[in-house]
Amino acid sequence: MKLITAVVKPHRLDEIKEALQAFGVHGLTVTEASGYGRQRGHTEVYRGAEYTVDLVPKIRIEVLVEDDDAEQLIEVIVKAARTGKIGDGKVWSVPVETAVRVRTGERGPDAL
Amino acid sequence: MNVGDTAFVLISAALVMLMTPGLALFYGGMVRTKSTLNMLMMSFVSLGVVSVLWVLYGYSLAFSGDVGGFVGNLDLLGLDGITGDSAMENFAGRDIPVFAFVLFQMLFAILTPALMSGALADRVKFGSWVVFIALWVTLVYFPVAHWVWGGGWLAELDPAIIDFAGGTAVHINAGIGALAAVLVVGKRIGFKKDPMRPHNLPLVLLGTALLWFGWFGFNAGSELAADGTAASMALNTQVATGAAVLGWLIYERIRHGAFTTLGACSGAIAGLVAITPAGGNVNVLGALLIGVVAGAVCSWAVSLKYKLGYDDSLDVVGVHFVGGVIGTLMVGFLAIDGVGGWDQFVSQAIGALSVMGYTFVVTFVLAFLIQKTIGFRASEDDEVAGLDQAAHAETAYDFSGAGGGSARTATATAPVAPAESKKVDA
């Protein structure tokens, strides 16, 4: 199994969810995150005082998949997340040793 | 007694009351999340403290008799002898109950010390603040209100100072008092280093709207009669404030590149402050000019604290003091009916300078004594963690979100029957 993590622009979440559903993914976890990459942050002005805001809001999506689906799923997410502008985010995958469905105790791919 | 005037003054008093919680929201939205409630409470508590002091001795010190032009006497302690049938005597042609005037003026006395709280955001002990405002209104506000409105020495100048609704007694007074207190209390930890962004600008706009609304009572109500001057004051209030919003926005667009929400709100307050002393004595074009100048100049003045290094956290000096001075001085020239001119300007300047000098010195000494005795400044730990929990045992916003019964919300009583399943489409 693989854990695919995507940190993307918040407004792409709906597109990504729909694309994952169309692909047949049954579940995912979404958290609000903040961070920066190459685009860095932005500047805000309050009564003339400029603040550099380094950390910009992002959405972190996590999906567990079987090994065979991983590459294809990464492509699906990248396609749905892309706007072509700087700050679109990143997607990566890491191997997962085990997974358990809490309710039934099923293990491995059966738990997905 | 005149029923129309009485009704108008009572309604105006209620409008002015709304300004103090409005101010609390205006300031509350501008601080960081961790000290929001403290900021709200610093204004709100004035409704408690000053209401009590005003009826006990404040009204008497401000409006009963005269001792050397400096302060009133103590003949009306506890509003002794005044009843619902008592009519105003010391203001010509104002046939309204004394109680209406007592209430109306009480709400000014409540608002003025609350204005200073913005300068001291995030870093003073709440109990010490309460002591501070009780002593400040006693030693500063009650006498200064007497100077301007109670038959004191500023009212005896020739020509008499024009301060229709409190440019000197309220705004210059609170602004310079705030500066003195800030110099004693010191900067917030992290001033000029840490980002100190307003945490809730919609709250700031709501507060601004309540202040603007209440200000009609503050300004027009100060006429104490439902007449043409009151109508002119109300119209001028609107015009000056609108112009000040534009003045601030245009300045900051040129200088900083954006039309900010905070700028629009700040401009509104600057305009309201500046028209306060002047609006009863200028025509609508004069009001427009005062507004746009106040908006633009205050927009520049709020940057001074970074250059000069004092932490007037929410710009009480830059907006109330500077705006108050602008309105007080400009009306010296812009006053209609042949009043405006050099002589009037000199009276205005004397009024502004005398309040500045007196209030700065007394407030500085008062804040210093509080700091040396019971301590004015909160502990470093409390300041860094946020004063809400240290001083008020509360949190402004519950961010723990969904998940009733989880460890994070375990301190609160658990809901009896958590919903089986909640459809949350995030």
Q: How confident is the model at residue A110 (pLDDT cuts 50, 70, 90)?
A: confident
Pairwise CA distance, residues B40 & B35, whole Å: 9
Please, what are the domains in chain A?
A: 2-111 (3.30.70.120)
Check CB contact under 8 Å for A47 and B266: yes
Which of B195, B302, B426 has its CB closest to that of A48?
B302
- Interface probe for B, chosen from A16, A46, A51 (most Cβ of B below 10 Å), is A46
Residue of A nearest to B425 (CA): A14
Residue of A nearest to B314 (CA): A47
Pairwise CA distance, residues B174 & B116, whole Å: 6
Check CB contact under 8 Å for B303 and A45: no
Please write the tens of the pLDDT for every residue from A43-85.
Answer: 888 988 888 888 888 999 999 999 999 999 999 999 999 998 8
Check CB contact under 8 Å for B262 and A53: no
Contact status of A53 with chain B (Cβ, < 8 Å): yes
Residue-level pLDDT at A4: 96
* Phi and psi torsions of B69, nearest 5°: 75, -5
Check CB contact under 8 Å for B306 and A45: no
Residue-level pLDDT at B417: 52
Q: Is the dihedral of CA B49, B50, B54, B55 positive or negative?
A: negative
Average pLDDT over residues B47-63: 97
Contact call for residues B155 and B147 (beta carbons, < 8 A): yes
Per-position DSSP letters for B318-329, written without gaps between them: IIIIHHHHHHHH
Which of A46, A48, A53 has its CB closest to that of B255?
A48
Question: Across the strands, what pairs with A90?
Answer: A7
Asked if pLDDT for residue A97 goes beyond 60, the answer is yes
Please list every residue in chain B whose beta carbon sits closer than 8 Å to the beta carbon of residue A52: 195
Residue-level pLDDT at B410: 42
Residue-level pLDDT at B217: 97
Tell me the shortest Cα–Cα distance from B96 to chain A, in angstroms.
43
Q: Which residue type, as a one-letter code, is found at position B167? A: G
Q: Which residue type, as a one-letter code, is found at position A52? A: T
Contact status of A94 with chain B (Cβ, < 8 Å): no
Residue of A nearest to B192 (CA): A49
The SS3 call for residue A105 is: coil
Asked if pLDDT for residue B19 goes beyond 90, the answer is yes
CA atoms within 13 A on the CB side of A28: 25
ipTM beyond 0.90? no
Residue-level pLDDT at B407: 45
Check CB contact under 8 Å for A47 and B315: yes
Average pLDDT over residues B278-294: 96
Surface of A (21-50) touching B: CB under 8 A: 30, 44-50
Q: What is the dihedral of CA B53, B55, B58, B63, to 10 degrees?
A: 170
Please write the tens of the pLDDT for every residue from A1-43.
Answer: 999 999 999 999 999 999 999 998 988 999 999 988 887 778 8
Please list every residue in chain A whose beta carbon sits closer than 8 Å to the beta carbon of residue B262: 46-47
Residue of B nearest to A51 (CA): B195
Residue of A nearest to B426 (CA): A30
Exposure b/e, B233-255, CB count within 10 A at least 16 = b:
bbbbbbbbbbbbbbbbbbbbeee
Lowest mean pLDDT among B56-60, B155-159, B185-189, B418-422: B418-422
Tell me the shortest Cα–Cα distance from A40 to chain B, in angstroms.
16
Please list every residue in chain A whose beta carbon sits closer than 8 Å to the beta carbon of residue B255: 48
Residue of B nearest to A11 (CA): B426
Nearest Cα to Cα of residue B275 among B233, B335, B247:
B233
Chain A / chain B CB contacts < 8 angstroms = 32
Residue of A nearest to B265 (CA): A47
Q: How confident is the model at residue B46 (pLDDT cuts 50, 70, 90)?
A: very high
Please list every residue in chain A whose beta carbon sits closer than 8 Å to the beta carbon of residue B258: 45
Please list every residue in chain B whose beta carbon sits closer than 8 Å to the beta carbon of residue A46: 197-198, 260, 262
Question: Across the strands, what pairs with A49?
Answer: A46
Contact status of B252 with chain A (Cβ, < 8 Å): yes
Which DSSP category does B118 fall into?
G
Contact status of B401 with chain A (Cβ, < 8 Å): no
Contact status of B257 with chain A (Cβ, < 8 Å): yes
Asked if pLDDT for residue B91 goes beyond 90, the answer is no
CA atoms within 13 A on the CB side of B341: 7
Please list every residue in chain B whose beta carbon sits closer than 8 Å to the beta carbon of residue A51: 195, 197
Q: Which CATH superfamily, name and number, covers B3-382? A: Ammonium transporter AmtB like domains (1.10.3430.10)
Asked if pLDDT for residue B405 goes beyond 60, the answer is no
Asked if pLDDT for residue B259 goes beyond 60, the answer is yes
Surface of B (278-337) touching A: CB under 8 A: 299, 302-303, 306, 315
Query: Domain spans of chain B?
Result: 3-382
Which of B260, B266, B315 has its CB closest to that of A45?
B260
Pairwise CA distance, residues B165 & B9, whole Å: 13
Check CB contact under 8 Å for A50 and B256: yes
pTM over 0.90: no
B193: which residues sit within 8 A by CB, 6+ positions away?
none
